[in-house]
Amino acid sequence: MNEGSFHLADSTEAYVALPSVPAYQLGTSDFTVEAWVKTYSGGPVLGILATENSPGFYLLLNAGSIELNTQDGTSYAKGFVSGVSVCDGMWHHVAAVRSGTNILAYLDTVPTPMDESTDGNPPLNINSSNRITLGAVDSDSISNQHFDGLLSEVRLWNEARTAEQVSNDANFRVQEVNLKDSMIGYWSGIFGSTLDFSGTRNTGTTHGQILGFGDAPPMAGPNGETLFYVYYGIYSLEVESSSDNTWSPYGQVALTSTRYVVLNNSTILEGAKFSGERLKWSSSRGGNPSTGNLKFKIDSSDTTYWPTRQLGELCEGTIQPKDSSSPVNVRGTATPKRIGCGLVLNVGTGLVLDNNSGMAVVSPKSPAVPGHFCRYEGGKVFDMMDQKALQVHSAGTGHSVSFQDPDPTQNDLQSFEFNDSGNITLKSAAPSVVLGVNGSNSLETVPLSAADDTQKWLGLSDSQVLWNDLAYYAVLNGDSSNLTVTTKVDGNPKQSWFTFRHAVICESNALALTVSGGPAPGVPLSLAQWSSTNVNQEFRIDGGFLTHQQSGLVVLAQGDVSNGATLVLGDKASNKRTPGSQWSISANGPIFNTTMDCQTNGVVENDGEMDDTKVTYTVAITTSTAWFSGTSDRVEVQFVSRRANNRQESTEYFILNKREHTPPGTPFQSGRTDVFKIEAKKIGRVDAISILYSRDSWFWRSRWVLDHISVRQSDYPHGSAWISTSQDYGPFPYVVGGWEYFILRLYNQPMDATMYLDWDLAQDNIGNTCDWDHTWIRVKNADDPPVVTYFDCAGGHEGGTVLGAITARCIRNEVVLMSTGLPISPEHPLQPTYGTNRTDGVGNANVKSDGKINWDGQCHQIANRYLFACEPSTCIDNAPWIYQPNGYGIGLAAFGRYGIGFSTWCAQIGFANAPTETWNNIYSWVQLALGGERTPYLKKVLSDMLTFRDGVSLVQNPQPDGPQGVRLVKKLEDRGVSVANSATLLSLTTTKIEEMRGDDSDKFLED
């Protein structure tokens, strides 16, 4: 979900001002200012500066520079860095730190040396009684007095943040539970709110017009596996009149991804608690204006609140204002969530969607026309500049289109569908009535015609930079129809490019990279209006070459960058080492491939026959567990081998979405690790991977967030190549752009053993039989004779798996390390068994378990920790359902895949590539068990399972078939989940499900 940011326009002189409070009296102490920014012209981010010579500070961005200035009224001390790319229309994280006498800067979490200057004796006393301003400074002595662009996650700390702290926190919004006393100002921009979410809670005043809430920075989404995040968003409230039982508007309540609750966009509710599905707050806490008790649901038939059954996310309950003697009934429905934001290009005219005094028109793209249109769930399109919704005048054809106030009573005229051919269809008249453009460049409703390109629309967002190796920081520059390679400079949208399918489109003018005439060596390239059928506009980044798709010729930059190098086509074979032949596309800097000996130019959906020139590549891709991290868009991968002698080979691109993979189900959804086996040509040791993403999404690609990628290959069986959250390749989790090139870390230690997931009685070769069946891990090495080591997973529930339900390669020493926290050594020699009948975490991968649902996890979480130590990592999810331990699904609901504290344990013992949120895997399990992302009751079932988790966490010794489990089974029955599907979801027998459906032990549980 795109939660937005502050959209500030210099033309409206928009900013937020907050009165001086004691927390801002920093004196000579250390402090830090940080923010995410997206701008071409910059301006002040945050500061206190009334006049040129008054005490205070400010963080200022200008084209190519970052400045943190401090002054005490007579002297100044500042840090200044120039020659950086910070005002280039891309999202950047900026942090500036005063630490003692030094001033430091970080750009995209990388330390950036600053030139420091002063005419005083730093650190200076910056105490001031003047107000603090966000997006501006009061002093007109600064020429760039107002920020112009997007701001998000603005934070002020009364400490000098370290490089590690800046890096660790940059890619995540600050959760309410993680709020620190040292944070004295926090303006997140979520939902466009100007509230201060820090403990200071300072109340600000908006000046000018903050233009809605814009695009959001490429940050990881919220943890998707608490009930709060199932329901988070904005809810429009209505109150019931006691006199005539009618309902009228009553403001809104917002649940933010940072776990704050905001009432009417003006009050952060203190002490608000979300327990189960119920939100409560009290007027006795802080400045809360009321007491509230709201229950959140996916649907409701409660006639107290709704005359008919309501579908979708909603809330219902009571609110009692502080000055009232009794509560009133309130109900609320979730406002649609944002899908994508950016520029909307009309294909037939080459013009872009615009708002001309309320009328929907198309206009020439210019730097002054920003991409500010957003698509929402339910099919509405908003102009974020004035919060108006696109609306047709009347159903049928021949009607005008304008921007109006969003109105549920006008849904038939404000709701659209977006098909796979680029048409925007009026939902109430689908598929016959679509939006087109008339001769006056105004939008109107027209009959659908596949041959009419003025009926096709393309949503473009997340522009990147095309880098070339002709010179340092050389980039593609589009000026009118002219096309050159010049030095990268700030403030220039002519150097920003969108990608769609195989087109490369300039942000400045919406024109596409084009071969001028028939493709042949020496033919120049230019810019022209994009057409979906023009093969001269189809290109592909292919192993470092920008290749014309039809001809296989490559794009070369020739000439002097200082004068604007020109672009021509060239033969690939004769330009392998030619300067100007290598290209890279990214937001924040070039990653060039070396020159190539062998390169293919195709896209492959299925493998051909295997022969001795081919090998098997196994690629595992882990999507972040954060909410809204997954995607259904097209994903292509290419394997690359960079050779030590400055030569390189790569495979074709392979489309992954329709390939067989494990586990089954829709790939690339939140929390999933999808493993693909691909037969392709032998290229040598893979140490890089290219990803092409979302080539067929006409209306903005979804924001896909990765946690981990690993590659194994059959001709190098002893090792793998990987990149993950632990690697400093930009901030991970990583938000994928249209094209990405990842350099992988090589892992060369040979796998010396095989791991088996087994089930057997609670015994081992030296132990005695117990009453419970146990899940076991068996590790067998390749010695002659082989040595077998057993790892007891401490209990089960009257059943388990079978011998060898999962088989994977591993290193025995690492499995012992996972078990005990200590490697095999003379002081700690190899044991024949580990963890036998232990429930205190010793020898059980640090999972405290009593064999039932309690403590950190149970036998299944212990087994999954061991399976994580394999290469590639695996888990019980990947075993066929009939071989999974009994009760695995219900245990997963209580503890997730790896149990509580797994990331901490991995960090403690040195497992560097552990996933960041390993407890949060219920969402992917529900998808797997019930059939994928589009299962109609998916989110409802997730809510039920999380309610179960919350319930068992409060019970001293819960049983899987106890009252909480019975309540869960009955909830699933109410949702229409069959006995068979419930059994699959909870890993219980159908007989057990039927027995629990008839149980009444849940009758005393609170609703």
Residue range 78-93, pLDDT digits in tens: 999 999 999 999 999 9
- Residue 931: the pLDDT is 65
Is 424 in contact with 436 (CB distance < 8 Å)?
no
| Of 643 and 138, the one with more pLDDT | 138
pLDDT band at 590 (very low <50, low <70, confident <90, very high): confident
- On the question of pLDDT at 224 being above 80, the answer is no
For residue range 497-539, what is the model confidence (pLDDT) as tens digits?
A: 998 888 999 999 999 999 998 999 999 999 999 998 999 999 9
What is the rounded CA–CA span in Å between residue 952 and residue 816? 31
Is 144 in contact with 43 (CB distance < 8 Å)?
yes
The label of the residue with tokens 């991804």 reads: 257
What is the rounded CA–CA span in Å between residue 833 and residue 819? 11
Give the angle 495-701-388 at the CA atoms, nearest 5°.
90
- On the question of pLDDT at 702 being above 80, the answer is no
| Of 508 and 744, the one with more pLDDT | 508
Instruction: Note the residue count of the chain.
Output: 1007
Q: What are phi and psi of 874, to 5 degrees?
A: -140, -175
Q: What are phi and psi of 695, to 5 degrees?
A: -80, -15
What is the token pair recorded at 495?
């150097």
- Residue 958: the pLDDT is 67
Equal fold, 6-207 vs 603-747: no
- On the question of pLDDT at 95 being above 90, the answer is yes
Say which range, 614-618, 817-821, 906-910, 918-922, has the weakest mean pLDDT. 918-922
What is the rounded CA–CA span in Å between residue 213 and residue 279? 26
- On the question of pLDDT at 608 being above 60, the answer is no
Q: What are phi and psi of 676, to 5 degrees?
A: -120, 140
For residue range 428-437, what is the model confidence (pLDDT) as tens digits?
A: 887 889 999 9
Determine the average pLDDT of the residues in 624-644. 79
User: What are the boundaries of each domain within the chain?
Assistant: 6-207, 227-334, 338-460, 465-586, 603-747, 749-901, 921-1007
What is the token pair recorded at 399?
């009607």
What is the rounded CA–CA span in Å between residue 582 and residue 826? 52
For residue range 562-589, what is the model confidence (pLDDT) as tens digits?
A: 989 999 999 988 887 789 998 988 887 7
- Residue 1006: the pLDDT is 66
What is the rounded CA–CA span in Å between residue 512 and residue 505? 4
Determine the average pLDDT of the residues in 199-213. 83
| Of 360 and 907, the one with more pLDDT | 360
Is 388 in contact with 380 (CB distance < 8 Å)?
no
pLDDT band at 606 (very low <50, low <70, confident <90, very high): low
Under CATH, what is the fold of the domain 227-334? Answer: Lipocalin (2.40.128)
Q: Which residues touch 82 (CB under 8 Å, ≥6 apart)?
A: 64, 65, 115
What is the rounded CA–CA span in Å between residue 101 and residue 833? 58
For residue range 811-845, what is the model confidence (pLDDT) as tens digits?
A: 999 999 999 999 999 999 999 999 876 777 888 89
Under CATH, what is the fold of the domain 465-586? Answer: Trefoil (Acidic Fibroblast Growth Factor, subunit A) (2.80.10)
| Of 940 and 167, the one with more pLDDT | 167
For the chain, the first-to-last Cα distance in angstroms comes to 30
What is the rounded CA–CA span in Å between residue 88 and residue 978? 54
- On the question of pLDDT at 768 being above 50, the answer is no
Which residues on neighbouring strands pair with residue 343, listed in sequence order?
460
Please choose, from the candidates 937, 984, 927, the residue with its C-alpha nearest in 3D space to the C-alpha of residue 663.
Answer: 927
Is 260 in contact with 174 (CB distance < 8 Å)?
no
pLDDT band at 607 (very low <50, low <70, confident <90, very high): low
What CATH architecture does domain 338-460 belong to?
Trefoil (2.80)
Residue type, 631: T
pLDDT band at 644 (very low <50, low <70, confident <90, very high): very low
Sheet holding 465-468, edge to edge: 482-487, 474-479, 465-468, 583-586
Strands 525-529, 539-542: parallel, antiparallel or unpaired by DSSP? unpaired
- On the question of pLDDT at 761 being above 80, the answer is no
Say which range, 139-148, 338-347, 892-901, has the weakest mean pLDDT. 892-901
- On the question of pLDDT at 674 being above 90, the answer is no
Strands 734-735, 705-713: parallel, antiparallel or unpaired by DSSP? antiparallel
Determine the average pLDDT of the residues in 340-367. 91
Cis bond leading into 431, ω under 30°?
yes
- On the question of pLDDT at 725 being above 80, the answer is no
What is the rounded CA–CA span in Å between residue 787 and residue 780? 6
- Residue 983: the pLDDT is 85
Determine the average pLDDT of the residues in 375-385. 87
For residue range 298-331, what is the model confidence (pLDDT) as tens digits?
A: 889 999 999 999 888 899 999 999 989 999 999 9
Which residues on neighbouring strands pair with residue 708, listed in sequence order?
622, 724
- On the question of pLDDT at 730 being above 60, the answer is no
Determine the average pLDDT of the residues in 12-23. 92
- On the question of pLDDT at 737 being above 90, the answer is no
- On the question of pLDDT at 447 being above 70, the answer is yes
Mean pLDDT rounded to a whole number for the chain: 85
For residue range 131-181, what is the model confidence (pLDDT) as tens digits?
A: 999 999 999 888 889 999 999 999 999 999 999 999 888 988 888 877 889
Determine the average pLDDT of the residues in 672-700. 86
What is the rounded CA–CA span in Å between residue 231 and residue 254? 10
| Of 466 and 647, the one with more pLDDT | 466
- On the question of pLDDT at 25 being above 90, the answer is yes
Task: Report CA Rg, the chain.
Answer: 30
Cis bond leading into 113, ω under 30°?
no
DSSP 278-321: EEEE-TTSTT--EEEEEEEEEEE--TTT-SS-EEEEEEEEEEEE
The label of the residue with tokens 């057993």 reads: 790
- On the question of pLDDT at 728 being above 50, the answer is no
- Residue 799: the pLDDT is 45
- CATH of the domain spanning 6-207: 2.60.120.200
What is the rounded CA–CA span in Å between residue 827 and residue 602? 55
Cα 422 to Cα 339, 369, 510, 574, 695: the distances in Å are 16, 22, 16, 39, 13
Is 309 in contact with 974 (CB distance < 8 Å)?
no
The DSSP element (H or E) to which 943 belongs, if any, is helix 938-952
CATH superfamily of the domain spanning 603-747:
PLAT/LH2 domain (2.60.60.20)
- Residue 552: the pLDDT is 93
Letter string b/e over residues 422-457, b meaning 16 or more CB atoms within 10 A of that residue's CB:
bbbbbbbbbeebbbbbeeebbbbbbebeeebbbbbb
| Of 482 and 656, the one with more pLDDT | 656
Strands 132-134, 15-18: parallel, antiparallel or unpaired by DSSP? antiparallel
For residue range 394-432, what is the model confidence (pLDDT) as tens digits?
A: 989 999 999 999 888 899 999 999 988 999 999 988 788
Give alpha helix (H) positions in 326-466: 411-414
For residue range 840-866, what is the model confidence (pLDDT) as tens digits?
A: 788 889 988 765 555 677 788 899 999
Cis bond leading into 733, ω under 30°?
yes
- Residue 987: the pLDDT is 77
pLDDT band at 211 (very low <50, low <70, confident <90, very high): low
| Of 65 and 625, the one with more pLDDT | 65
